[in-house]
Amino acid sequence: MVEDIRSILKEHGKLSVDIAGLSDDADLYQAGLTSHASVNVMLALEGKFDIEFPDRMLKRNVFESVSAIRAAIEELTGGA
């Protein structure tokens, strides 16, 4: 899952650094993730994992790191 998240961030996150150089806990906003780009990341994640982020999850901190995104997806897919 982490590899899929990372490849979506690489393609849609418009980060100013290479995602490969960031740890799972690194702050993506500090790495240049804008709110516009984060929307594209959300859309790609919803498509890839066949999920829908409910509105309560559409918050900055849910998408602030690779691990935070993984935790959110696991919550929606029942930890699968």
Partner 1 sequence: MSKANESPHVATAMRIAREVAGPQAASVDRDARFPREALDALKEARLLSAFVPKAMGGLGLGMIELSQMCEALAQHCASTGMVFAMHQIQVACLVRHANGVGFFERYLKELAAKQYLIASVTSEVGIGGEMRTSICAVEKSGDRFKLDKDASTISYGEHADDLLVTARAAPDATPNDQALVLVSKPDYSLERTGAWDTLGMRGTCSPPFKMRSTGSAERILPAPFADIASQTMVPFSHILWASCWLGISTAAVSKARAFVRNQARSKPGQTPPSAMRLAEVATQLQMMRANVHDVASECEYLMNHPESSIDVLSSVAFAVKMNNLKVSTSEAAFQIAHRCLGICGIMGYKNDSKFSIGIHMRDSMSAALMVSNDRILSTNAAMLLVLKDD
Contact residues for partner 1, defined by CB under 8 A: 16, 29-36, 39, 42-43, 46, 52-56, 58-61
Contact residues for 75 (Cβ-Cβ < 8 A; gap 6+): none
Cβ-based nearer residue to partner 1, 7 or 61 = 61
Q: Least distance to partner 1 from the beta carbon of 55, Å?
A: 5
Q: Residue 28: what residue type?
A: L
Q: Least distance to partner 1 from the beta carbon of 7, Å?
A: 19
Q: Least distance to partner 1 from the beta carbon of 26, Å?
A: 12
Distance CA 64, CA 60 (A): 6
Distance CA 66, CA 71 (A): 9
